[in-house]
Structure 1
Amino acid sequence: MTTDKPPTPDRRWPVVLPPALLTLLLGLWGIERGGSIWRDEAVSYQVAHRSLPEIWRMLHGIDAVHGLHYLLLHTVFRFWDGGLLALRLPSVLAMVLAAAALAEIGRRLAGPRAGLLAGLVFALVPAVQQYAQEGRSYASVCAAVVVGSLLLVRAWQRPGASAWAAYGAVMLLGTLLHEFAVLVVAGHAVTLWWGRAGRRVWRGWAVTTAIVLAGLLPLVLISRAQADQVAWIRPPDWSDIWAPALTSAVGALCACLRQPAVPGAALRLRVLALPLLVLPPVVLILVSYLDPLYVDRYVVFSYAGLALLLGLALDRGWARLPRALTRWPTAGRPVVAALALSALVLAPLPLERGLRTPQSRPNDVAAAARAARDLGRPGDAVLFVPGARREAALYDPSAFAALADVALDRSGADSGTINGVEAAPERIRAALATVHRVVLVTDPRPRAGASARDRAKLAVLAARFGPCRSTAVRGITVTLYAARGSCG
């Protein structure tokens, strides 16, 4: 007579579920930020609402690097036009996936407790919470990078065509969502070298990476032809460098901690985590001294490496606590764990609250649209300086429905651009000669600078009009001008 053995419990879910649930709760908390939306998100919102032919036409001239994200959002809005919630929910879910995958990496390479702590730390990183609530591609890229790293560990442990195909598919998806995710592929090469991967692993990785790079090449060529759209990025200075320098130093210190061997682990956790943390920002910063490209949100996925290393450090710290603290009675252990988790979650609460306010972003085009509606009246003209600052009208056309955009010649959808094409300066001057009131939407400190169209707008306003009332919102100023002497 034989007896069946009880099934072995799956130890994965107690590790991956708590970080995933915490990330979900933090992502949904205050997700609409009081109805505010900043310029980049407004671009995602209005482009995703265009038809597929209009999106495809636009991508040939600008923003091809975000094209796949726009198409994904277009699909979301086609089935559910849920406003700001629909815009940001995909990013929340992407970060949930990233947190779960990160915890699983930690479990495989450093043990269940290290994996759980790494996932919880990741959920609490301010940058992770910030980009989990933005309708841009950075959270999706982060998810692809972390899942791809998990698949690399899996392919290392059990090399095979299906394992490498899964790794390649996810990494290609990540690079197509944003091409700077390719820096992670370079980080994985460092991991293979540091971890002394065998010839079979190197061969599988090299073939897969070649396919990923070939798939990315068309996007690279198109985006390089559109390089003018990132001309605003300046070479890095200390304000850009201190944060990645600090996190790299902290991660390096954590990597120095002794890590016990984990049965079945193909490599040590630091071998994967430290290159992921350090290499992408460092390479992009160095390149940016020749060709400025570094913006911290482009490499937000590097925080996954920091979370893994901090999880390892917390795990080692817990293991070294005095026995009097670690050998609590069984009934008291849940209480101790709950108190520790509460302290971990509540400590960054003031910063977390700030991330969910309109002031946490550079500007608020929704507030600018409301200000334009309040200051203007039917028949008034509206001007945007610079001319590319039409995001408020693109996000909320109803607020500008009664105003005449006298400078606009063709809309963004008609012209295959984001903000549309403005008329020649002489036509703008002629149009302004027929109006008595103008609502100006501009940066707080408008420059008479580069554009002849913008110089013409400001010159006519200075010559024929005077300011009557002004409303300053986050990063944008809306001012009502009237013909001189007629403000009343």
Structure 2
Amino acid sequence: MSISPALDTAGASPRAHRASPEPPASRPAGRTGRAAVGLAPAGLALALGLWGIRRENSMWRDESTTYQVAHRGVADIWHLLGQADVVHGLYYLLMHGVFALWDGGLVALRLPSVLAMAAAAAGVGLLGQRLAGTRAGLAAGLVFPLFPVVQRYAQEGRSYALVCAVVVWATHLLLSAVARPRKRTWTGYAVVAALACLLHEFAILAVAAHGVALYRARVPAALGWAWGQAAAAAGFVLAPLVIVSQQQVALVGWISPPGTSQLLGFGVPALAGVLCARAPGPARGPIALGDLALPLLILPPAVLIAVSYLHPLYVDRYVIYVYVGLALLVGARLERLLRTSPAPRTAAAALAVVAAAALLPYSAQLRTPQSRIDDTMAAARAVRELSRPGDGVLFMPARRREPIMSSPGDFRGLEELALAERPVPSGTLHGIELPAPRIRIRMLTARRIVTVNDSPGQPLDDTPQENVKRGVLKKYFQRCAVRDVTGMRIVLYGRPGSC
């Protein structure tokens, strides 16, 4: 059976034909070595993810949202998505299934992210093997789970680790489709890329980075056209999500234009990646490692940062898959350095010790409640300790209702003075509050009120409801007790003589 000329031309590139022989240090290992390239990084990522997974029984506000939304019924989740958080809709449905199978609290909330990041680490190792050899792949795979940002989101009850894993395996399908073009492989790539985009819409920037990689590799036009069709299919699937999410854009109104810290957070890894790519190794296929890794590292955050000066959207966790590109570049560079070392095993051991010593303090801090901006569980415990049955409770502002939604038992016996309609029947994240005059009337019937507030120094919401809460407390109540927890302040107020 003959292969058609068009298919043969599409399956290779001039660069692939000119690829240099692989140096002895990078020659493929046996079956055990190839398995280790995926298993060792996955094992390291899994160990780091399980270490302190409960984070001292703490939960921050975004995880609290995941927890309470995932515990709603499917129809209730669907109702919510029409009004808020549609960008996380597929993830909420997935977590609903997780909790339906096993309602394991904080462990069940975070375990999918741990497993996803382990799958991503395995995929990074295997990507490095395909692009630069076994040792480079092993180094990349082991570097990836050590990045602090990867460790952080491996233990987050949010979608970002899953997006990262799906992007990694979409990249594998891209390499397979370029190396051996077949309709089913390109279809698989389109399906997996679309899945990544449905988990978070900014994964489309990884698909764009794949296109830049093909351009840099100078692949034949037939392959570029095939990628374009797959990318268009993923974009078509994503389009309804983008349309609805644009109607909910007020939910990301808290994002500010990029500042110095955001620019450094992008620039330092990008510069490190460029420096690592300056001494490229021999290409092992149609796409060289640098051609793939640099666009994946640089393009997504660069695009978001540029857009954010007009419409702020850049948050580093939205594109954490860029660290896949950095890990590939660092891994390949480490392999080349160790290969030229007179004692490579000693040098590798020394590097491991230095990395562990440098990362251990920050890694330990990541597994404490103070590593996140707030702790809804600690706030709920403080409310329980300061209040007694019959007291009123207020959330100031109303969006600070996360503690009661993630730990309702700690609020048992308290009366919500401002709530008109609860989150589930209203199809909202935090419920709907009464008009300001009604809130005032209900507050004046209470003898004691416990309030859940932002931490001091945060801007105050200038709404009629929030203004009346502050006004009544100041005029008719006195402060009885204050309890500060991570990111929140709990205050008990009482009528004179009621503290």
Which category of TM-score, normalised to the shorter sequence, fits these structures? over 0.9
Q: 2:174 corresponds to which residue?
A: 152
For the pair 1:208 / 2:230, whether they are aligned, the reply is yes
Q: Offset of 1:485 from its aligned partner?
A: 3.8
Unaligned runs of 5+ in 1: 1-7, 327-332
For the pair 1:391 / 2:376, whether they are aligned, the reply is no
Contact residue 428 and residue 457 of structure 1 kept, 8 A: yes
CA distance in 2, matches of 1:25, 1:216: 34
Written as runs of structure 1 = structure 2, the 5 A alignment for 1:58-73 is 58-73=80-95
CA distance in 2, matches of 1:337, 1:185: 34
- Deviation track 1:175-230 (CA, whole Å, cap 9, x = no partner) reads 00000111111111110110001122112111111110000000000000100100
Q: Offset of 1:386 from its aligned partner?
A: 0.6
Written as runs of structure 1 = structure 2, the 5 A alignment for 1:368-383 is 368-383=379-394
Written as runs of structure 1 = structure 2, the 5 A alignment for 1:183-262 is 183-262=205-284
CA distance in 2, matches of 1:261, 1:217: 36
**How many residues are treated as equivalent by the alignment?**
470
Identity between Structure 1 and Structure 2 (%): 49
- Deviation track 1:313-361 (CA, whole Å, cap 9, x = no partner) reads 1011112213xx24xxxxxx5x876565454444311111000000000
Q: Secondary structure at the match of 1:468?
A: strand
CA distance in 2, matches of 1:438, 1:9: 66
- Deviation track 1:54-93 (CA, whole Å, cap 9, x = no partner) reads 0000000000000000000000000100000000000000
Q: Offset of 1:257 from its aligned partner?
A: 1.1
Q: TM-score, normalised by structure 1?
A: 0.94
Q: 1:416 corresponds to which residue?
A: 427
CA distance in 2, matches of 1:482, 1:464: 9
Q: Secondary structure at the match of 2:484?
A: strand
Q: Secondary structure at the match of 1:42?
A: helix
Change (3 A) 1:227 1:112: same
Q: 2:333 corresponds to which residue?
A: 313
Q: Secondary structure at the match of 2:373?
A: coil
For the pair 1:294 / 2:314, whether they are aligned, the reply is yes
Q: TM-score, normalised by structure 2?
A: 0.92
Q: 1:161 corresponds to which residue?
A: 183
Q: 1:477 corresponds to which residue?
A: 489
Larger deviation: 143-152 or 208-217? 143-152
Q: 1:5 corresponds to which residue?
A: none
Q: 2:369 corresponds to which residue?
A: 358
For the pair 1:304 / 2:324, whether they are aligned, the reply is yes
Q: 1:272 corresponds to which residue?
A: 292
Contact residue 481 and residue 491 of structure 2 kept, 8 A: yes
Contact residue 397 and residue 461 of structure 2 kept, 8 A: no
Contact residue 48 and residue 71 of structure 1 kept, 8 A: yes
Contact residue 448 and residue 458 of structure 1 kept, 8 A: no
Written as runs of structure 1 = structure 2, the 5 A alignment for 1:96-175 is 96-175=118-197
Q: Offset of 1:147 from its aligned partner?
A: 1.0
CA distance in 1, matches of 2:248, 2:149: 28
CA distance in 2, matches of 1:426, 1:251: 58
- Please provide the CA RMSD for this pair: 1.5
Q: Secondary structure at the match of 2:246?
A: helix
Q: 1:330 corresponds to which residue?
A: none
CA distance in 2, matches of 1:218, 1:12: 41
Q: Secondary structure at the match of 1:36?
A: coil
For the pair 1:462 / 2:484, whether they are aligned, the reply is no
